[in-house]
Amino acid sequence: MTEKPSIYLETSVVSFLTNRLSSDLVVAGHQRSTRVWWEEYRQNYGLYVSPIVLREAGQGDAEASKRRLDAIRGIPSLELTEAVFELAAQFLNQGILPEKAKEDALHLAISTVHGIRFLLSWNYRHIANPLTREALTRMSVERSFIPPTICNPHDLLEAGQ
């Protein structure tokens, strides 16, 4: 039996999964894609979160944070290691992400250091954009890591996965 491909669930995916349906048509489409993927395909993957995801999911409105935390309950959490902190610092020091995006740098570093195959995110500003993908690949290869493929649930739905 082959091992399931691994996915690191960044917090935006959990939010799109559990938030009330948005009146913004683009956001609502992302929410629907996330929900369909979650219901039909998540069992095909080994899902992971991190202490960062757990903390972010637990912030804000009490009812909304409960829905987010309930959705990811039981999903293994990846460790914040020294290598994770070092790689995240390099993302920031090299200007790949702005200083205010420390937690996004940690999401990238966690999934990279732990050898996760896919980083699932709707965060286009700092994570799921072509410039970040390119920089992550370059830095990972320079440091002998295999970078995760950054995508969103809709990408996996389009691939039938």
Residue 47 belongs to domain with CATH number: 3.40.50.1010
In a domain, 150, yes or no: yes
Overall domain count for the chain: 1
Residue 1 has pLDDT above 90, yes or no: no
**For position 2, what pLDDT does the model report?**
61
Domain containing 72 equals 6-158
Give pTM, 2 decimals. 0.93
Smallest CA-to-CA distance from 13 within 42, 36, 34, 37 is with 34
Q: What 8-state DSSP symbol labels residue 86?
A: H
Q: Are strands 149-151 and 46-48 parallel, antiparallel or unpaired?
A: unpaired
Segment 28-86, tens digit of pLDDT: 999 999 999 999 999 999 999 999 999 999 999 999 999 999 999 999 999 999 999 99
The predicted pLDDT at position 140 comes to 86
Is 95 a domain residue? yes
Residues facing residue 46 across a β-bridge: 6
Q: What number of CA atoms fall less than 13 Å from residue 119's CA on the CB side?
A: 33
7: left (phi over 0), alpha (psi -120 to 50) or beta: beta
Whether residue 1 lies inside any domain: the answer is: no
